[in-house]
Structure 1
Amino acid sequence: MKLIYAIVSSDDSNAVTSALTKEGFFATKLASTGGFLMSGNTTFMIATEDDKVDQAIEIIEQHSKKRKQMVPSSATYGVGLYAPFPIEVTVGGATIFVTNIERFEKI
């Protein structure tokens, strides 16, 4: 048995939840925050049989799209002079970890 941790953008969370549920996967959702953009994410914890890991990852991949977004930044000009300017970054997609489950109980 495996445990899948999937960190997805909160924008994609509902689509991922619906697709996983439709295919018979059970997932626990945790609200999380990304370190770089400090934006909202959802971390899914999905326990599944070894032979269904690839199917779960495919579902997550299909519903977690990468996209470009402009975010505020700042640059330093000279000594102590700061000017804000937007930069384009890629957001979305998913970060996925798969680990072995030594013991699983649902009580």
Structure 2
Amino acid sequence: MKGSGGDMEKPKIDRLMAAIVQEQDVDGAVRALQNLNFVVTRLPSTGGFLGRRSTTLLIGSPAEQIETAVKTLQKKCRTRIEYVTIPLEGTPLPIPAPTPITVGGATIFTLEIERYEEI
């Protein structure tokens, strides 16, 4: 959270959020967080049940702004139903069966930090 003129006092960054966000939601989430003056860094990531590409957002924040960041991510990172094919067991031929799974949203970890510097 930086001021443009340099005369604005910087807030105390004492929390670090790591938010894992689906690729479809990341641009909107980053824009919304940056519009609220959060410090956001993107890291590409992969994982989860489907092994899909995602982005891990590192978000620096004062403790009192964590709920604002969480609510922003809730608004921008929606869940979706996707279908994956899983072979049916016990059949003579492997017949794929489409199975619905819920994906999306955001997975958020919040950590206390002892020190934050911009050098």
Q: Confirm or deny a common fold (TM above 0.5).
A: yes
Instruction: State the one-letter code of the partner of 2:116.
Output: F
Deviation at 1:70, TM superposition (A): 1.1
Deviation at 1:78, TM superposition (A): 4.7
Which one has the largest radius of gyration? 2
Instruction: State the one-letter code of the partner of 2:110.
Output: V
Name the SS of the counterpart of 1:76 in structure 2.
Answer: coil
Matches within 5 A, 1:1-107: 1-78=14-91, 81-107=93-119
Deviation at 1:71, TM superposition (A): 1.6
Structure 1: gaps spanning 5 or more residues: none
Instruction: State, as a whole percentage, how many aligned pairs show the same letter.
Output: 36
Name the SS of the counterpart of 1:102 in structure 2.
Answer: coil
| 4+ long deviations beyond 3 Å | none
Larger relative strand fraction: 1
Deviation at 1:76, TM superposition (A): 2.1
Instruction: State the one-letter code of the partner of 1:29.
Output: R
Question: For 1:93 and 1:40, how far apart are their aligned partners in 2?
Answer: 14
Deviation at 1:8, TM superposition (A): 1.1
Deviation at 1:41, TM superposition (A): 1.0
| TM-score between the two structures when normalised by the length of structure 2 | 0.83
Question: For 2:61 and 2:91, how far apart are their aligned partners in 1?
Answer: 55
Question: For 1:36 and 1:91, how far apart are their aligned partners in 2?
Answer: 9
* Higher RCO, Cα 8 Å, sep 6+: 1
Two-structure CA RMSD over aligned residues (Å)? 1.3
Deviations 1:33-81 (A, max 9, x none): 12311111111001111111111111111100011111222222257x4
